[in-house]
Chain A
Amino acid sequence: MTYAKNFVKNFNYKKFLVENSALVTLVLLLIIATAIQGSAFFNINNFVNILFNNAIVGIIALGMTIIIIAGGIDLSVGSAAALTGLFTITTINHTGSITLGVLAAFATGIFMGLFNGVLVAHFRVPAFIATLGAMQIFRSMSLYFWDGGGISLGRIGGTPIEHDVLSFLAFSNTRLFQGDLLQRGLPLPIFYWIALTIIMAIVCKKTALGRHIYAIGSNERAANLSAVKVKRVKIFVFMISGALMAFAALVEASRLGSMNAATSGGFYELQAIAAVVIGGTAMSGGRGKPVGTFFGMLTLGVINNVMNQMGLSSFLVGTIQGSIVIIAVLFQMTMSRKEKKF
């Protein structure tokens, strides 16, 4: 009893709020959504939908998290995902090998990360500029090589092809535990997303690389003087993010069975950054958590879902999501200011 009392007395609610702002926001939002929509919102199948619909950007946002913690940013992930997805499907169609397609995806993703990483770490181009350029390059290359159009799995130039490559669709569309409770089961991407979130959380918290990422984002000079291999770590961060982006592109390509050079991956980078920010990661680097990003992404997803259910114009979704991003940052800033002064 006294223990509980002491706990309540000593509980630093400010610190808790600052560190878990994403979770708190999400819980508040869940309560509001339930109040408005009742069981139409608060049921397991709807939750599965929300998780499924946000898994792709959610995985990309994990990579964005470590880039931002390291003091950078990556605007190219959306177009990179489009280019990777297009390249993957094309490879599968032409070779008939899903393995080769998957390898192609990771090779592309990691290479694109290397490209950004070398620009930022070695040539010291500001991350915003380097990845802005990369964003345009990747998008333009997609449009050029795929003629501004799209590509579908199992077809070359509109005609069905001979080899059986459609089993690639199972990667995203397999559903587990289908039953009375889970009417449409649990699609695999949900597991991918959760598993990758846990892996990234462990990498951030428990590995030398993870701690070096925080050190660099917080004070690059001091990290460099402490013999942390700053360049190498930064390049690594972009490459890990590239690999995560490739994974997300695979999920997207497999989910739909097609990619479009003009529209695929559109605004993914902005949604990912929004999720990271709502998740409590500081844009200045040095602070943040992958798990926060997970909840940040869900926050965006829940808003989208509820507005859909309420029949509100989808044009308004951006207004609400944008406001939440701004409020999240304002909240973090006022809280950390107070923390500092006292």
Chain B
Amino acid sequence: MEFAVEMKGIKKSFDENYVLKEVDFAVEKGSIHALLGENGAGKSTLMNILGNVLRKDDGKIFICGEEGNPKLIEEKVAFIHQELSLVNDLNIFENLYLGKEISKGFLLDTKTMSARAKEVFGRMGVDINPYTMVSDLNPSYKQMTEIARALLKNAQIIIMDEPTTSLTDVETELIFGVMKALRAEGISLIFISHKLNEVLQVCDSYTVLRDGELVASGKVEDGLEEKDLSTHMVGSEVNTEGIYRPRDVGRIIFEIKNMSKDREYKNVSLHLKKGEILGVTGLLGDGRTELFASVYGVNAPYEGKVIIEGKEVKMSSASTAMKNKIAYVPKNRKENGIISDLNIKENLVLSIMQKISQVGFLKNSVVEGITNDYKSKLDIKLSSLNNMITSLSGGNQQKVVLSKALCTKPSVVILDNPTQGVDVGAKMEIYRQIVSLAEQGYSFIILSNEIPELQRTCDRVYVMFQGELRREFSRDEMTEENIMLIATGGKI
């Protein structure tokens, strides 16, 4: 058996915290290998060591049979980070050749560069004009541009850190196609992901890390189930059963009537009942994020009506929404959700600071009281309320952001991609909390492209396609097939 990568006994500690304890990791040549683990399990550290970003404390690395040194790694390994490193204002081939441009005399040889760029994309089975601006590309093509850059430097090992998080299912399929094409060429890919169904679908083998230790590795064979992998990841069996609980829903408390906004969404009408959990899904360009940004008042102006408790409200700002008891947890936590320079408690009460301050002054006891309340309600794991928000894991950060929305005492909570970048264990916990909050009378609208997420929590699901609301499914109709059919523009 020929290995592209062999890492043996890798140790790494930051200060006194062991992040990796003698980890072995091997990837067969010409295979797609999944690296799994919850947040903080040591995946990123291990890959950063392989990618030469961090130095190992101890252990050995072999790349294609040769003992690894920085130069060899630089040559053979490409690391595609979650945050892509493309320049939006340059076109595709300019990005590919950034820093190693080919020139003829004083001028750039754009002909050669664009031709070679096209050739590289051809190897992936993708036909694209290399003069396209990166800013015009959708996320999957941006990902492919990163892959193309790796191919251009002749990398034999490509590390992909959660490449599919921001992709829709169709785009994900595209990327998988590319990955398979590269595998056929003998290139080895390391696929870091939280999405276990994708792992089963595309990977040949897997390694699971937990708390800096190797807990399992093997081949992806028939009979291997998501449950087996998630059990390894969290250490005990993840209980996905019994999250959803049927409950009585009340009267209609929130309605949208004929809402439209140019090029974003068209003529959308829907309603939400008290205590109900509603899902809204679709593929990229379905307009759900824009629609609910408008509902929350941060995407004005719009046509149509938002009706809360039977009364029309013009949603012109986030504070209008808050006054009308609508709360919003935006997607992309890092950009939209957390304030990295504030500590945990300040982040949590940010929306209600003015309300809870006395003559403008914030009372520490009040702030800590509220924070502790939500800490126990949502089981947020933290060592001190005064720590920076960034010291928390993704799941706990998300719980703080959720608490920030809940502490405004809303009746409707809009959640956009609520479990993005959250590990399996924390995900299930968040689902459970949503359901139990709904039992207490909160109503939820969950925007998501993960169908299992909706199936686990929602009473009803609306499916959107290119800005239009195409269909409503009740709980027993919301199968993956039904939803995908409508989401891709089909009809039942």
Chain A: residues with CB nearer than 8 A to chain B?
A: 206-209, 211-212, 214-215, 217-219, 221-229, 286-287, 342
Check B340–A223 contact: CB distance below 8 A: no
Also in contact, A219 and B362, with CB within 8 A (given A227-B319, A342-B14): no
Q: List which B356-405 residues lie within 8 A (CB) of chain A.
A: 357, 360-362, 404
Check A207–B318 contact: CB distance below 8 A: no
Check A208–B318 contact: CB distance below 8 A: no
Also in contact, A206 and B361, with CB within 8 A (given A226-B351, A227-B318, A227-B322): yes
Check B350–A215 contact: CB distance below 8 A: yes
| Alpha-carbon gap, A228 to B319, bound state (A) | 7
Asked if B298 is at the interface (CB within 8 A of a chain A CB), the reply is yes
Check B342–A342 contact: CB distance below 8 A: no
Check A287–B341 contact: CB distance below 8 A: yes
Also in contact, A208 and B14, with CB within 8 A (given A219-B338, A229-B319): no
Check B342–A228 contact: CB distance below 8 A: no
| Alpha-carbon gap, A165 to B456, bound state (A) | 78
Q: Please name the residue on chain A nearest to B404 by beta carbon.
A: A226
Residues of B contacting A212 with CB < 8 Å? Answer: 353
| Alpha-carbon gap, A316 to B318, bound state (A) | 52
| Alpha-carbon gap, A12 to B330, bound state (A) | 35
Contact of B360 among A208, A228, A342 (CB under 8 A): A208
Check A211–B342 contact: CB distance below 8 A: yes
Q: A208-B362, A222-B338, A227-B322 are in contact. List 20 more A-B contacts (CB 8 A).
A: A206-B361, A207-B360, A208-B353, A209-B360, A215-B341, A215-B346, A215-B350, A217-B341, A218-B339, A219-B341, A224-B298, A227-B318, A227-B319, A227-B321, A227-B408, A228-B318, A228-B350, A229-B317, A286-B339, A286-B341
Asked if B354 is at the interface (CB within 8 A of a chain A CB), the reply is yes
Contact of B357 among A208, A214, A221 (CB under 8 A): A208
Contact of B339 among A207, A209, A222 (CB under 8 A): A222
Q: Please name the residue on chain A nearest to B355 by beta carbon.
A: A208
**Per-residue A-contact encoding for B215-251, CB less than 8 Å = 1, 0 else:** 0000000000000000000000000000000000000
Check B341–A225 contact: CB distance below 8 A: no
Residues of A contacting B296 with CB < 8 Å? Answer: 225
| Alpha-carbon gap, A259 to B322, bound state (A) | 49
Residues of B contacting A229 with CB < 8 Å? Answer: 317, 319
Query: Would you mind naming 13 contact pairs between A and B with Cβ atoms under 8 Å apart?
Result: A206-B362, A208-B354, A218-B340, A218-B342, A219-B335, A221-B335, A222-B330, A222-B339, A223-B339, A223-B350, A225-B330, A225-B337, A227-B319
Also in contact, A224 and B318, with CB within 8 A (given A207-B360, A211-B353, A211-B362): yes
Distance (whole angstroms) from the CB of A228 to the closest CB of chain B: 7
Asked if B328 is at the interface (CB within 8 A of a chain A CB), the reply is yes
Distance (whole angstroms) from the CB of B371 to the closest CB of chain A: 14
Q: What 6 A-B pairs have minimum CB-CB distances, sorted nearest first? A: A218-B341, A286-B341, A208-B353, A227-B318, A208-B357, A227-B322
Residues of A contacting B353 with CB < 8 Å? Answer: 208, 211-212, 228
Distance (whole angstroms) from the CB of B266 to the closest CB of chain A: 25
| Alpha-carbon gap, A222 to B14, bound state (A) | 30
| Alpha-carbon gap, A211 to B319, bound state (A) | 17
Check A225–B328 contact: CB distance below 8 A: yes
Check B341–A222 contact: CB distance below 8 A: no
Residues of B contacting A208 with CB < 8 Å? Answer: 353-354, 357, 360-362
| Alpha-carbon gap, A214 to B350, bound state (A) | 11
Asked if B481 is at the interface (CB within 8 A of a chain A CB), the reply is no
Distance (whole angstroms) from the CB of B333 to the closest CB of chain A: 9
Check B336–A221 contact: CB distance below 8 A: yes
Check A226–B340 contact: CB distance below 8 A: no
Residues of B contacting A342 with CB < 8 Å? Answer: 14-15
Also in contact, A222 and B337, with CB within 8 A (given A208-B354, A211-B342): yes
Residues of A contacting B341 with CB < 8 Å? Answer: 214-215, 217-219, 286-287
| Alpha-carbon gap, A209 to B14, bound state (A) | 37
| Alpha-carbon gap, A226 to B328, bound state (A) | 8
Residues of B contacting A228 with CB < 8 Å? Answer: 318, 350-351, 353
| Alpha-carbon gap, A334 to B192, bound state (A) | 31
Distance (whole angstroms) from the CB of B349 to the closest CB of chain A: 9
Chain B CB within 10 A, most for which of A209, A222, A223: A222
Q: Please name the residue on chain A nearest to B364 by beta carbon.
A: A206
Check B357–A219 contact: CB distance below 8 A: no
| Alpha-carbon gap, A77 to B357, bound state (A) | 31
**Per-residue A-contact encoding for B281-304, CB less than 8 Å = 1, 0 else:** 000000000000000101000000
Distance (whole angstroms) from the CB of B51 to the closest CB of chain A: 14
Residues of A contacting B330 with CB < 8 Å? Answer: 222, 225
| Alpha-carbon gap, A217 to B339, bound state (A) | 9
| Alpha-carbon gap, A342 to B57, bound state (A) | 14
Residues of B contacting A223 with CB < 8 Å? Answer: 339, 350
Q: Please name the residue on chain B nearest to A232 by beta carbon.
A: B319
| Alpha-carbon gap, A224 to B298, bound state (A) | 8
| Alpha-carbon gap, A165 to B360, bound state (A) | 38
Contact of A227 among B338, B346, B351 (CB under 8 A): B351
Contact of A226 among B14, B15, B318 (CB under 8 A): B318
Q: List which B4-39 residues lie within 8 A (CB) of chain A.
A: 14-15
Check A207–B335 contact: CB distance below 8 A: no
Residues of A contacting B346 with CB < 8 Å? Answer: 211, 215
| Alpha-carbon gap, A226 to B357, bound state (A) | 16
Residues of A contacting B336 with CB < 8 Å? Answer: 221-222, 225
| Alpha-carbon gap, A222 to B318, bound state (A) | 11
Also in contact, A207 and B338, with CB within 8 A (given A225-B318, A227-B408): no
